[in-house]
């Protein structure tokens, strides 16, 4: 039978699923810590973030963990997804809910990353916030009103509530359907403990990254150079790759299709795959369809022998490296730390903190210019 094999004994799919779950828990814990010191206001958000980094005991480490966990979470989810794809879980009727909730989970997690980028409310957060209405503004028909909606509805506290309450709740509900219901019977803590031990190398890597590659937070005392950090891996910036069409496609009408409509359609088509592939099964009046048999065949093939397991391992690793590599190359030029070299308090209030009138495009017309925005991010030492 399909379900007789305990996944964690048979393959590594479960390993990365477990890693992802652990990362979500860790993000919850580090986030809880940050809540006690962060103030979601236009004027104080960045100051409190600086205080967390520089004055609160352990604050710097916790904040940087909170920045690095999503990067590991992303990789864990990626490997987990590739494995499930290769195993053709989407034709496995017993895994329908697992598949659906797993795919849908990508949405709240993406929104958590986006809001998490914004709420420190320094120049990167400000910049990112301004790109969202621009993005939705490219949509045909509803674009203009969506843009206005986003511009009007921004406030730091609102995005903070989304970040610490609304999206975590949605994530939790989906995680519950995805795995917790089943896990409760088996014992959540035993599961967590077991996984914490098997993923120990990743936890060590995480601690290493959070300690050695920290976000600079000493300005204006120590002002970085404009290109400081250009080649340093800074996790949150890799997620900004979704904005790249603005730079490479300029003002092409293709942008909304490539970066909003297309991905959404793919997401929902993929999420509901087990449901409409099931339609075929009913017609054939047989309990196992050709696709399912193929899936069983695949499973045997994959789990059958050590050699094959190693082979899939290599395929999964290769695909993962390709995707991660593309993302890495996409944001390679970005001078990640350099923003503070010009945007710091010693250059005056105007460049020190994002302006209070941040959503007034009549006062800040440059923010409507997507190309300028992208180039200022990529080459701030040239375009400003
Ligand atoms: C070489 C100095 C310099 C660097 C480095 C720099 N900026 Fe700027 N930035 C400026 C100047 C000057 C302006 C004002 C341009 C204007 O209003 O004409 C500006 C404007 C902006 C604006 C437009 C809105 C506003 O309030 O004027 C944003 C957003 C922004 N910068 C974000 C960033 C980010 C994010 C980085 C890091 C990638 C960065 N900047 C790096 C000098 C710099």
How far, in Å, from the CA of 224 to the mean position of ligand 1? Answer: 14
How far, in Å, from the CA of 384 to the mean position of ligand 1? Answer: 6
Phi, psi of 124 (to 5 degrees): -70, -45
Give domain status of residue 188, yes or no: yes
Top-confidence residue, 230 or 262: 262
The response to whether residue 229 sits with its C-beta less than 6 Å from ligand 1 reads no
* Residues 6+ positions from 233 with CB-CB distance below 8 Å: 213, 328
* Nearest CA owner, ligand 1 atom 38: 377
Across the chain, what does the average pLDDT equal?
Answer: 84
pLDDT at 3 over 60: no
Q: Identify which of 12-16, 245-249, 275-279 has the greatest average pLDDT.
A: 245-249
* Nearest CA owner, ligand 1 atom 29: 127
The response to whether residue 143 sits with its C-beta less than 6 Å from ligand 1 reads no
As a whole number of angstroms, the distance between CA 312 and CA 298 comes to 11
As a whole-number percent, the residues of the chain with pLDDT over 70 amount to: 88
The answer to whether the beta carbons of residues 303 and 10 sit under 8 Å apart is: yes
Q: Which of 178-192, 228-242, 342-356 has the lowest mean pLDDT?
A: 228-242
CA–CA distances in Å: residue 101 to residues 13, 104, 180, 233, 273: 16, 5, 12, 31, 12
The whole-number average pLDDT for the span 279-302 is 57
Report the CATH number that the domain containing residue 353 is assigned in CATH: 1.20.810.10
The whole-number average pLDDT for the span 106-117 is 93
Taking alpha carbons only, the member of 319, 309, 238, 301 closest to residue 15 is 309
The response to whether residue 353 sits with its C-beta less than 6 Å from ligand 1 reads no
Residue 298 — very low, low, confident or very high, per pLDDT cuts 50/70/90? low
- The pLDDT of residue 310: 85
How far, in Å, from the CA of 373 to the mean position of ligand 1? Answer: 9
Q: Identify which of 88-92, 206-210, 300-304 has the greatest average pLDDT.
A: 206-210
The response to whether residue 269 sits with its C-beta less than 6 Å from ligand 1 reads no
The response to whether residue 121 sits with its C-beta less than 6 Å from ligand 1 reads no
pLDDT at 342 over 90: no
The response to whether residue 377 sits with its C-beta less than 6 Å from ligand 1 reads yes
Pocket probe mutation, ligand 1, options 123, 341, 361, max atoms within 8 Å of Cβ: 123
Report the number of distinct structural domains present in the chain: 1
- The pLDDT of residue 43: 86
Q: Identify which of 88-102, 148-162, 299-313, 367-381 has the greatest average pLDDT.
A: 148-162
The answer to whether the beta carbons of residues 85 and 13 sit under 8 Å apart is: no
Q: How many CA atoms within 13 Å lie on the side-chain side of 181?
A: 9
- The pLDDT of residue 282: 41
Give domain status of residue 71, yes or no: yes
204-239 tens-digit pLDDT: 999 999 998 888 777 667 777 777 777 777 777 777
Give domain status of residue 153, yes or no: yes
Residue 293 — very low, low, confident or very high, per pLDDT cuts 50/70/90? low
Top-confidence residue, 179 or 251: 179
Give domain status of residue 383, yes or no: no
As a whole number of angstroms, the distance between CA 361 and CA 268 comes to 34
Q: What is the CA radius of gyration of the chain?
A: 23
Residue 68 — very low, low, confident or very high, per pLDDT cuts 50/70/90? very high
As a whole number of angstroms, the distance between CA 382 and CA 60 comes to 32
Residue 7 — very low, low, confident or very high, per pLDDT cuts 50/70/90? very low
Q: What does the CA dihedral 343, 345, 347, 348 come to, rounded to 10 degrees? A: 120
- The pLDDT of residue 239: 75
State which residues form the domain around 69.
Answer: 8-378
How far, in Å, from the CA of 334 to the mean position of ligand 1? Answer: 14
Give domain status of residue 344, yes or no: yes
- The pLDDT of residue 226: 76
- The pLDDT of residue 381: 79
The response to whether residue 19 sits with its C-beta less than 6 Å from ligand 1 reads no
Pocket probe mutation, ligand 1, options 380, 381, 383, max atoms within 8 Å of Cβ: 380
Phi, psi of 219 (to 5 degrees): -70, 150
Give domain status of residue 2, yes or no: no
Residue 104 — very low, low, confident or very high, per pLDDT cuts 50/70/90? very high
The number of the ligand 1 atom at minimal distance from the alpha carbon of 226 is 5
Give domain status of residue 320, yes or no: yes
- The pLDDT of residue 332: 67
Q: Identify which of 9-18, 101-110, 184-193 has the greatest average pLDDT.
A: 101-110
- The pLDDT of residue 245: 85
The response to whether residue 338 sits with its C-beta less than 6 Å from ligand 1 reads yes
Give domain status of residue 1, yes or no: no
pLDDT at 284 over 50: no
pLDDT at 2 over 50: no
Which tokens belong to 252?
A: 């092409």
Q: Which of 96-100, 194-198, 225-229 has the lowest mean pLDDT?
A: 225-229
Residue 148 — very low, low, confident or very high, per pLDDT cuts 50/70/90? very high
* Nearest CA owner, ligand 1 atom 43: 342
As a whole-number percent, the residues of the chain with pLDDT over 90 amount to: 37
* Nearest CA owner, ligand 1 atom 27: 364
The response to whether residue 230 sits with its C-beta less than 6 Å from ligand 1 reads no
């Amino acid at each position: 039978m399909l379900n007789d094999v305990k996944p964690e004994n048979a393959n590594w799919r479960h390993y990365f699923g477990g890693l992802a779950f652990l990362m979500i828990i860790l993000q919850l814990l580090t986030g809880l810590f940050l809540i006690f010191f962060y103030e979601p206001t236009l004027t104080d958000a960045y100051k409190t973030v600086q205080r967390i980094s520089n004055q609160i005991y352990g604050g710097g480490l916790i904040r940087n963990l909170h920045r690095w966990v999503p990067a590991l979470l992303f990789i864990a989810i990626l490997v987990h997804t590739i494995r499930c794809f290769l195993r053709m879980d989407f034709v496995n009727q017993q895994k329908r809910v697992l598949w659906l909730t797993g795919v849908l989970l990508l949405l709240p997690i993406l929104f958590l990353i986006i809001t998490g980028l914004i709420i420190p409310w320094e120049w990167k957060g400000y910049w990112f916030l301004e790109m969202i209405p621009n993005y939705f503004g490219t949509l045909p028909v509803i674009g203009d009103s969506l843009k206005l909606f986003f511009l009007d509805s921004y406030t730091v506290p609102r995005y903070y509530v989304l970040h610490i309450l609304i999206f975590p709740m949605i994530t939790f509900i989906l995680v519950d359907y995805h795995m917790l219901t089943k896990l409760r019977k088996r014992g959540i803590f035993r599961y967590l403990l077991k996984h914490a031990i098997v993923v120990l190398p990743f936890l060590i890597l995480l601690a290493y990254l959070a300690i050695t590659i920290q976000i600079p937070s000493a300005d204006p005392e120590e002002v970085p150079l404009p290109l400081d950090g250009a080649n340093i891996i800074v996790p949150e910036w890799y997620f900004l790759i979704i904005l790249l069409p603005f730079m490479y496609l300029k003002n092409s009408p293709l942008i909304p299709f490539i970066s909003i409509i297309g991905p959404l359609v793919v997401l929902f088509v993929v999420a509901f795959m087990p449901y409409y592939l099931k339609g075929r099964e009913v017609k054939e009046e047989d309990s196992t369809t050709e696709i399912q048999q193929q899936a069983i065949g695949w499973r045997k093939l994959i789990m059958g022998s050590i050699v094959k397991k190693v082979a899939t391992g290599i395929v999964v690793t290769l695909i993962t490296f390709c995707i991660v590599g593309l993302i890495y190359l996409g944001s390679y030029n970005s001078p990640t730390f350099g923003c503070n070299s010009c945007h710091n308090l010693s250059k005056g209030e105007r460049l020190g903190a994002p302006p209070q009138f941040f959503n007034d495009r009549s006062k800040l017309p440059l923010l409507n210019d997507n190309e300028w925005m992208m180039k200022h991010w990529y080459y701030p030492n040239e375009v400003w």
